[in-house]
Amino acid sequence: MPSHLLCIETTTTQCSVALCAQGEVIGLAQSNHENYQHSQLLHTYIDTVLSENNCKPSDLTAIALSSGPGSYTGLRIGAAAAKGLCYANDIPLIAIPTLDILAREINPKEGYIVATLDARRDEVYCAIYTHDYKVIEPATPHVLTPRSFCEWTEKGPVYFVGTGLEKCEEILDHNKHFIFPKQPSFPSAAKMVEQGFFALENKIFEDVAYFEVDYLKAFQITPKKKNALGQQP
């Protein structure tokens, strides 16, 4: 019986689930909603890709989860679903960094890839890769300045991908070696298959009980302003 890998990606406004077998995507359900519909859609999408391929949760070999950075709420929802499936079916959990997934949305023949996720203010979460997806600089929060990433243009073209495109294009100095696609792209579960099966074949698994997603920055709650009497409403 072929290995069945269920991939879950919930780190941005796009909710995405893919069922993979023998290194290929055989089922995909995904949609993008600005107001985050993951809590309503995720389990429906899981049921959809499984039922459309006559597959039951007990037939799954492993779960692959996009592990961050990204939306705090989205990461929590995805992790809860992935852990629940792993516990219920006694199968392993595979974690794939979100920016690794995002980098695979493009396929340049040379140069470098800057995978970005929009963060607050002038910040992005970003990681830098060779054109064939080898990590040069791992995921980190980055405050954009006009000179950000310019040093990489001395070595070849620099391709940007992800939800931080507009912010990068607005803030960075114009450079003929910077290449921006026309539209932002979102990480998709369909791009998790290569890394997912590599981890499966090499038994690179997470400890389900202790696994934590990678928020990169601690979740911050803005305190409510006090009124004139020094009291919080």
Average pLDDT of each block of 10 consecutive residues along the chain (233 residues)?
92 97 96 91 98 97 97 96 98 98 96 95 96 96 96 94 95 95 94 97 97 76 48 51
Answer yes or no: CATH 3.60.21.10 is held by domain 4-98+187-201. no
Intra-chain end-to-end CA distance of the chain, in Å:
59
Sorted by where each begins, the domain ranges of the chain are: 4-98+187-201, 106-179
Cα–Cα distance for residue pair 82/95, rounded to 1 Å: 10
61: exposed, middle or buried (Cβ count in 10 Å: 0-12, 13-18, 19+): middle
Whether the domain at 4-98+187-201 and the domain at 106-179 fall into the same CATH topology: yes
Q: Is 208 exposed, middle or buried (0-12, 13-18, 19+ CB in 10 A)?
A: middle
Residue 219: its pLDDT value, please?
42
Q: What is the per-residue pLDDT for 15?
A: 97
**Which CATH code for domain 106-179?**
3.30.420
CA–CA separation, 147 vs 172, rounded Å?
A: 6
pLDDT value at residue 35: 85
pLDDT the model gives residue 229: 53
